Amino acid sequence: MKTIIFIIQKEFKQIFRDKNMLRLIFILPILQLLILSNAATFDVKNINITIVDNDQSPRSRELIQSFRASTYFKMTAPFFSEKEAIEEMQKGNTSIIINIPVHFNRDMQKEQKTNISVIINAIDAATAGVENVYVSQIINNYNKNIQTQSKSFSNTTEIAENILVIPSFWYNKTLNYKTFMVPGILVLLVTMLTLFLSSMNIVKEKELGTLEQINVTPIKKHQFIIGKLFPFWILGLVILTVGLLIAKLVFDVPMLGNILVVYLFTAVYLLLVLGIGLFISNHTNTQQQAMFIAWFFMVIFILMSGLFTPIESMPIWAQNVTLINPIRYFVEVMRMVMLKGSGFFDIVPQFAIISGYAILMNGLAVWSYKKTN
């Protein structure tokens, strides 16, 4: 125990001595959290829409007005032929073209029924889907009897006339993407920082030759490893705290559940990440190699975490791969506790998996750390 304290003391001294590093450790994650949380939004807003009004009637103007009133759309200059409008889409200046046919006014009055053509740029299929829903909703609200013909999809969207759907969004009532993203991004930052720092820490001593000096002392493997990793465990919890404060103060992300559950989970989670970092450290000889491997895993972990793309929409094999992704569980738990108010019993499955995983990785790491070659 005494020996461990000597190591911890030395590690903290080295961390605090390097003022530049210290600044990076704290300022970079904060900046990332502030920037990414605002940028990584899936809100579909400010959609450029072009309306070709072939009718120029009171009713067509009414319909245009209801698009204008929507906060989702930004009206481009009007065009008078679909061809011109399509050219505009080719140039990338508009995403949606709505073609109001001649006799729109007359057909609405006489036959109570008409068609409107809607062309949506569907290069980004997900966005196009959302836009299609928005357009349909606005047209529907204007008049239930208008059939939209969506040309971006092979099937025409049939609008059921007699069913009124009232969506009710739970857990994130205002559909605020920041609420959804901030806890997830915070998870990434905590993970990245602790993984990189821990994987480079021991390999750095290898490079300097100080590890050899330590290996000729009678120090026990576990003493050295605990002493080495403990400072980064503390650092991870500090970063989490700073991030949670920013989430609350800057982004007003709700904290419905018990914050202690988050800390309990993070405490175990960090052990796992540090174990992975140490494992990488043991199997590399230079900081470059360690960084490269840490990045390799980090990119996979991030993209397969369910943070940016829902796990449910991945192919089955990929879904299975996410099962060994620690970030996946951390993201789930953060969202559950912060946004749904889940308690400890709700996160027991994730907690059990992460605990087992932590034991496995640290076991492997201690086993592969060799004082003698």
Partner 1 sequence: MEKEKIIAVKNLTKKFGDFAAVDDISFDVYKGEIFGFLGANGAGKTTAMKMLIGISSPTTGDATVAGFDLHSQSEMVKKNIGYMSQKFSMYDDLTVKENIIFFGGIYGLSRAKIKTKIASLVKELQIEDIINSLVGSLPLGWKQKLSFSVALLHDPQIVFLDEPTGGVDPITRRQFWEMIYTQAFKGTTIFVTTHYMDEAEYCDRVSIMVAGKIEALDTPKKLKEQFKVDSMNDVFLKLARNIE
Minimum distance between the CB of residue 286 and partner 1, rounded to whole angstroms?
Answer: 15
Residues 6+ apart with CB under 8 A from 11: 227, 228, 230, 231
Q: Cα–Cα distance between 72 and 247 in angstroms, integer?
A: 26
Q: Cα–Cα distance between 123 and 16 in angstroms, integer?
A: 49
Q: Which is nearer to partner 1, 20 or 162 (CB)?
A: 20
Minimum distance between the CB of residue 271 and partner 1, rounded to whole angstroms?
Answer: 23
Minimum distance between the CB of residue 370 and partner 1, rounded to whole angstroms?
Answer: 9
Q: Which is nearer to partner 1, 9 or 56 (CB)?
A: 9
Q: Which is nearer to partner 1, 227 or 306 (CB)?
A: 227
Minimum distance between the CB of residue 214 and partner 1, rounded to whole angstroms?
Answer: 7
CA distances from 250 to 34, 255, 274 (A): 8, 13, 29
The torsion angles phi and psi of 286, rounded to 5 degrees, stand at -130, 160
Q: Which is nearer to partner 1, 248 or 371 (CB)?
A: 371
Minimum distance between the CB of residue 224 and partner 1, rounded to whole angstroms?
Answer: 8
Minimum distance between the CB of residue 331 and partner 1, rounded to whole angstroms?
Answer: 36
User: Rule CB under 8 A: which residues touch partner 1?
Assistant: 2-3, 5-7, 9-10, 13-14, 17-18, 208-210, 212-219, 371-373
Q: Could you tell me the two tokens for 117? A: 């053509």
CA distances from 23 to 17, 29, 187 (A): 11, 10, 20
Q: Which is nearer to partner 1, 204 or 248 (CB)?
A: 204
Q: Which is nearer to partner 1, 17 or 91 (CB)?
A: 17
Q: Cα–Cα distance between 334 and 184 in angstroms, integer?
A: 7
Residue the block writes with tokens 């590890």? 211
Minimum distance between the CB of residue 21 and partner 1, rounded to whole angstroms?
Answer: 10
User: What's the alpha-carbon Rg for the chain, to the nearest Å?
Assistant: 28
Minimum distance between the CB of residue 1 and partner 1, rounded to whole angstroms?
Answer: 12
Amino acid at 43: D
Minimum distance between the CB of residue 367 and partner 1, rounded to whole angstroms?
Answer: 16
CA torsion through residues 272, 320, 177, 197, sign: positive
**Residues written for the chain:** 373
Q: Which is nearer to partner 1, 62 or 212 (CB)?
A: 212
Q: Which is nearer to partner 1, 12 or 177 (CB)?
A: 12
Q: Which is nearer to partner 1, 5 or 125 (CB)?
A: 5
